Structure 1
Amino acid sequence: MTVDGVSLTQYHGDEAAELLGELSDTYADAYGVQPAEEKTAAFRRRAAKQFERPGFLLVAARSAGQMIGFAFGYTLPAGDTHWWGGVQPEPSADFVEETGARTWVLSEIEVRRAWQSKGVGRALHDAVLSARGEERATLATGPDAPAQPVYEAWGWRRVGRIPGDKGDYYSAYDLFVLDLPVSR
């Protein structure tokens, strides 16, 4: 999917780290908060850790030189089942098995408010996922988040709910899975 006047560019770990200021500003705008607020500071801390994870990829959308959105994530390492820890209903052992090449986490997908509902989010989603070689992708949302019907319309299926960790934004998260490659 393309959006007129919008360019999409891929970045890997070190390249993405150099964009943290722009990413934070875009994130703050997407949520209607100030860049100095705790929500944005928490995003900065999460993002900085993720730049170093295996399989990290960022796709940024720009219009007239300004970052207007982004999507990024990383590959779950072999043997790491923390992502699936405590999910209810409890899936099979085969479902939670991670090989280091099986599951890619769509960690963030954010679009500036002025660009929302214009196809930028879908373009970012498709661009970042079409670049992946894993079997499936996963994402987590707050329970009953407004984005859930959008994800379902894009082919994601809800697989369960996990408890949040101490200090998390939500006390629980809904987990979704999408088979790769993405087909439209």
Structure 2
Amino acid sequence: MTARTFELRHFHDIEPAWDTLIELYADVRADRLHDPHYSVERYAERLARHAHEPGWEAVIGYDGDEAVGYAYANTVEQDDRYWKRITSPLAEPVTSVATLALKELGVRVPWRKTGVSKAIHDSLLTARGEPQATLMVNPEAGDGKVHDLYVSWGYQDLGVSRPSPDSPVLTDMVRALP
């Protein structure tokens, strides 16, 4: 499906976006909801915590009136626990500047492979002032295709981390922002 009347809306406050983000997450991650780490309840806990962190922003993409995808991020500083969870030694320049941490990006199945995820991603990153962005990806997601997609968007591997005891081991990635 192609986006005909695709619109991107930015949110800096969680209240007007909460229900839509929860609904999108449940649909996008429907195949993983049986795993406690990916449950809607755990997502809601993470979303509530992240939404109150510095620099939180979400972008929701709409095709007409239908929400089709989302991303959200916040700013992490040099001493943030985000960096401390990465098991590989990190180069000082990577952690010495404010960084946009992309926490979630998801698109409903009918809109995948249409450019919607890149449009949402780019809209979120372009609106920011941080010099770099980072994200964590499950290296097995989509048989490695999700990782490869991020590489094609300019991200490079940094190391690995496990954000919580029941989460999978994730690959941390970083890229410079224009």
Q: Does TM, scored on the shorter chain, surpass 0.5? A: yes
Shift of 1:95: 2.8
Root-mean-square deviation (CA), in Å? 2.3
Deviation at 1:54, TM superposition (A): 0.9
Cα shift readout 1:132-174 (whole Å, capped 9, x = no counterpart): 110100000123333101101111111111244323x21x211
In structure 2, what is the Cα distance between the partners aligned to 1:11 and 1:165?
Answer: 27
What do residues 106-126 of structure 1 show as CA deviations (whole Å, max 9, x unaligned)? 111111111111111010011
When structure 1 is superposed on structure 2, of 34-43 and 119-128 the one drifting more is: 34-43
Matched, 1:6 2:3: no
SS at match of 2:128: coil
Deviation at residue 37 of structure 1 after TM alignment: 8.5
Q: In the alignment, what sits opposite 1:178? A: 175
Question: TM-score, with normalisation over the residues of structure 1?
Answer: 0.83
Matched, 1:21 2:26: no
1:45 aligns with 2:38: no
What percent of counterpart residues are identical?
26
Would the alpha carbon gap of residues 19 and 163 (structure 1) be closer, same or farther in structure 2, given more than 3 Å must change? closer
Counterpart of 1:173, as a letter, is L
1:70-108 Cα deviation digits (max 9, x unpaired): 11100013x42421225343123343224xxx2010111
- Tell me if structure 1 keeps the 8 A contact 2:4–2:63: no
Q: 1:28 touches 1:34 (CA, 8 Å); kept in 2?
A: no
The residue identity in structure 2 corresponding to 1:177 is V
Deviation (angstroms), 1:36: 10
Look up the match of 1:111. 107
8 Å Cα contact 2:7/2:64 also seen in 1: no
Gaps of at least 5 residues in structure 2 are none
1:1-184 correspondence runs (5 A)? 3-13=3-13, 16-33=14-31, 38=36, 39-77=39-77, 79-98=78-97, 102-146=98-142, 147-167=146-166, 169-170=167-168, 172-181=169-178
> What CA distance in whole angstroms lies between the structure 2 residues aligned with 1:27 and 1:164?
19
| 2:6 aligned partner, one-letter code | V
CA distance in structure 2 between the partners assigned to 1:165 and 1:69 by the alignment = 25
Q: Once structures 1 and 2 are overlaid, which stretch shifts more, 141-150 or 110-119?
A: 141-150
Instruction: Tell me how far apart the structure 2 counterparts of residues 141 and 59 of structure 1 sit (CA, whole Å).
Output: 19
Equivalent pairs, count: 172
CA contact (8 A) 2:4 2:64 kept: no
8 Å CA contact 1:24, 1:40 repeated in 2: yes
Instruction: Give the secondary-structure state (helix, strand or coil) at the position aligned to 1:129.
Output: helix
Offset of 1:65 from its aligned partner? Answer: 1.0
**TM-score (norm. length: structure 2):** 0.86
Any gaps of 5 or more consecutive residues in structure 1?
none
